[in-house]
Chains A and B, each alone.
Chain A
Amino acid sequence: MATITIEKLQKSFGDLHIIQGVDLEIQDKEFVVFVGPSGCGKSTMLRLISGLEEANDGRILIDGEDVTSLQAGERGLSMVFQSYALYPHKTVAENMGFALKVGGENKSVIQHRVQEAADILQLGPLLHRRPRELSGGQRQRVAIGRSIVRDPKAFLFDEPLSNLDASLRVQTRIQLARLHKKLDSTMIYVTHDQVEAMTLADRIVVFSGGLIEQVGPPLFLYEHPANLFVATFIGSPEMNILPCEAMEGDVVRLSQGSVVTASRRRYRPGNAAFAGIRAEHIRLCDHSDGIPGTVGVCEQLGSDTYLYVDLDSDHTVVVRTTGDVAVEEGKQVHLEFRPDFIHLFDADERALTSKPTPN
């Protein structure tokens, strides 16, 4: 229903530069997730798009139309807040129909649209209650319903699930995924939760320090992080990063002395300064030509076992094995890094073994 284009957007509060010149193109019907650590500017970015914050510089275009100077209500977007922000003095139905009422729709249209949205979210029996009589999950559904009723050009979600308890969060997440399919509309979603980002997104935008670090489909970011920040931010447990030194060809020497071959294709010339490998790409091996280490901690989660292996006094790597593996803490083990999955980064923390753009 809408493409959103952001050009050289800047926002600062006093001396604090929250958004430092961001360009982004969001396609029609795309589900885009903004992730990043707290204070990275992802929420501010969403508020800039919504119109609740005014940009200092740059432009925002919706369907090619410059909306930078328009008020929040005039942009035709709707937003779901982390705290739900339901109007406490209105019933559920009034909450959902409020935007249409402000817009001057007639009563029967409002009622029809509210009923439609209520059917989608199974809110029918709650329509005449007030927000204080609802549970947390119901309030969240009402907040989503309120945004659906408006039939907006795009939906904006500001950490909508972070106030729900764990099981409700999973349910609502799946509901949201279904909703996106059903409504087939553009959605922008801010979260700090990896799982939400990975499962919901068509594309993830990783923010850090007011800049975009990388944009791409979830698995692309997972497999081809553009830099050290994205590599460590996406994926759980965090990717293991070890300082290294380039040797001939694909061979690098890790800081504690072991030599590994990184057989991934290089996309950029440059010398490797860091080698990264995910926990699931490390294997325990019997032969003594593996990388030696001592098991510091063994975490058994049932489905998986995480081994925290100390390579030397400064460097620990996490190894993910199947749940039936149990290793005594303090035991000597040998590790094999799968050569295809070793990421290399240069001294500026930029990836050498990553595609520059998703295909």
Chain B
Amino acid sequence: MKQRIVFYGFATVTGGLWYALIGIILAITFAFISGLAVRPHLPAFLIAGAISGVWTVQRPAKQREGVFQIQLLTVSLIGLLLFSGLKPFSIGWDQSSLLQAMTLLGAAYAQTRAVLIVTRPMNLATWERRYFEQSLILSLKGIGFVVFTAMVVMPFYILVMTSLKSQQALLANPLDLMPDFTVGPSEMFRSYRELFTDFNFGRYLGISALVSVSTVIVTLLFAIPGAYTLARLRFPGRALLSRSILMIYLVPAIVLMIPLYVVFSQMGLRDTLFGLLIVYPATTLPVALYMLQGYFRGIPAELEEAGLMDGCSRLGVIWRITMPLSVPALASVGLYVFMIAWNEFLFAFMFLDDPNIFTLSRAMVSLNSSEVPRQHLMAGAVVSTVPILIIFLWAERFMVQGMTAGSVKG
């Protein structure tokens, strides 16, 4: 008896959760496309989901094919409509009726598929703990995947779509995210064009690239010998030094802000890119040192000794053996440093006053005034995000595992 309660209870919860989750996501998508104030009728989704979950699991797994799936879809549709008082998305059927109908049908289809998939291991006749666990894992995996995808995709979608819209359209209905495709590409990408012509974003893009690449180079220039020293060489105070590296992060950047501002002003470094190139590597070095040090430790010492025997100097060994084997670590450290430098805002905001040497993030702030329309801001955000995206996809190929495979017998 207790088993049955757990069994059906689990099915109820699973069904309800999946129906609600898919309902919410499709409702938001519907809202994005139609520009209507759509809200999913949650109780209806939960109840329909619970019924569908229970109805599915009471049948043996083998009898959930063909006709049953159509029945389940029909029942779900009727349930969703019935329990929500015919308004599953809280709007009348006179508003974009076709799209609404398609969304409802799509939701019901996705919901029934989801319930059928995650309850596949659930079978009352062969009820065992592991089947319950399998089903739970399927559910959690699916929910995690769907939720995180939505969290990543949706803001980016809003960003891109808003940047493609005109000022008038944005003012007319801020909710409507569908850009007007009829105006043609030149009008759609107007805010991008203006960003580069009127707001000088080409220059800022270049400056950000220059600053970020230089930061990566300077950081690696210091981090590689530093990390190697900590990982391989024996000297007094090594353990202390190694441990104190990360302690720099105990001091928040904002605390350093005022002293640095004063010192940099006095030294004439404040409104210069060179000043940033001192601060950025200083903030990224600890993590770079820490990451590289760990990786260098993982490279077998015999490999370097073999290099020494083969006539390399210590530096020769680092250059010809350690570095080629550390490409994955160097790539991830480089990427990390690049991202920090590219996105850095606080120091750029405080130090840079001259619009000729703004970095992208600093330039974005100057956009954020009442005179500049919102789509320009969004276009600016897209412009500053896309390079990182491209670099990330490109750098991924270097982050392969198992570089040292086959070198030594473990």
Contact = CB atoms under 8 A, between A and B. Distances in A.
Nearest to B407: A88
B322 to A, nearest CB: 11
Interface stretch (A27-35, A128-136, A337-345): A128-136
A85 interface: yes
A164 to B, nearest CB: 9
A102 interface: yes
Contact of B308 (A52, A82, A86, A136): A52
Contacts of B404: 88
Interface string A54-91: 00000000000000000111100111011111111100
B403 interface: yes
B308 A72 contact: yes
A103 B313 CA distance: 11
A83 B305 CA distance: 12
Which residue, B305, B320, B321, has most C-beta atoms of chain A within 10 A?
A: B305
Interface in B298-344: 300, 302-303, 305-313, 316, 320-321, 324-325
B408 A84 contact: yes
B305 A85 contact: yes
A303 B303 CA distance: 43
Nearest to A98: B310
Given A88-B325, A99-B310, A81 B302 contact: yes
Given A83-B300, A89-B324, A72 B406 contact: no
* Residues of A in contact with B, size category: 20 to 34
A85 B406 CA distance: 9
B407 A84 contact: yes
Contacts, number: 91
B91 to A, nearest CB: 61
A134 B309 CA distance: 23
Contact of B403 (A71, A86, A89): A89
Nearest to A134: B406
B390 interface: no
A42 interface: no
B325 to A, nearest CB: 6
A224 interface: no
B409 interface: yes
Which residue, A71, A82, A133, has most C-beta atoms of chain B within 10 A?
A: A71
B135 to A, nearest CB: 40
B239 to A, nearest CB: 14
Nearest to A81: B302
Given A52-B305, A81-B302, A86 B310 contact: no
B309 A87 contact: no
A195 to B, nearest CB: 21
Interface in B109-130: none
A87 B306 contact: yes
Given A81-B305, A139-B409, A87 B321 contact: yes
B309 A77 contact: yes
A85 B403 contact: no
Given A102-B316, A132-B406, A163-B409, A85 B310 contact: no
Which residue, A77, A136, A139, has most C-beta atoms of chain B within 10 A?
A: A139
B319 to A, nearest CB: 11
B405 interface: yes
A81 B300 CA distance: 12
A316 to B, nearest CB: 38
Contacts of A77: 309
Contacts of A253: none
Nearest to B234: A13
A88 B406 contact: yes
A98 B308 CA distance: 11
Contacts of A83: 300, 302, 408-410
Contacts of A115: none
Contacts of A52: 305, 308-309
Contacts of B325: 88-89
A98 B316 CA distance: 12
Contact of A86 (B305, B320, B402, B407): B407
A132 B405 contact: yes
A79 B324 contact: no
Given A131-B407, A132-B406, A85 B303 contact: yes
Contacts of A81: 302, 305-306, 408
Nearest to B302: A85
A89 B300 CA distance: 13
A78 B309 CA distance: 6
Interface string B385-410: 00000000000000000111111111
A86 B313 contact: no
B409 A84 contact: yes
Given A83-B408, A84-B409, A132-B406, A50 B321 contact: no
B306 A79 contact: yes
Contacts of A141: none
A150 interface: yes
Nearest to A163: B409
Contacts of A74: 311
B402 to A, nearest CB: 8
Contacts of B306: 79, 81, 85-87, 146
Interface string A83-123: 11111110000000011001100000000000000000000
Contact of B310 (A73, A82, A136): A73
A319 B308 CA distance: 49
A268 B310 CA distance: 48
Given A81-B305, A85-B303, A102 B406 contact: no
B311 A103 contact: yes
Interface in B268-295: none
Which residue, B310, B313, B403, B407, has most C-beta atoms of chain A within 10 A?
A: B310
A301 B312 CA distance: 50
Nearest to B321: A87
Nearest to A136: B409
B311 A73 contact: yes
A308 B165 CA distance: 95
Contacts of B406: 86, 88, 130-134, 139
A155 to B, nearest CB: 11
Contacts of B309: 50-52, 72-73, 77-79, 99
Given A52-B308, A85-B305, 4 more contacts: A83-B408, A85-B408, A88-B407, A98-B310
6 contacts: A79-B306, A87-B303, A88-B403, A98-B310, A102-B320, A103-B311
**Pairs of residues from A and B, 3 with the lowest C-beta to C-beta distance, nearest first:** A132-B406, A73-B311, A131-B406
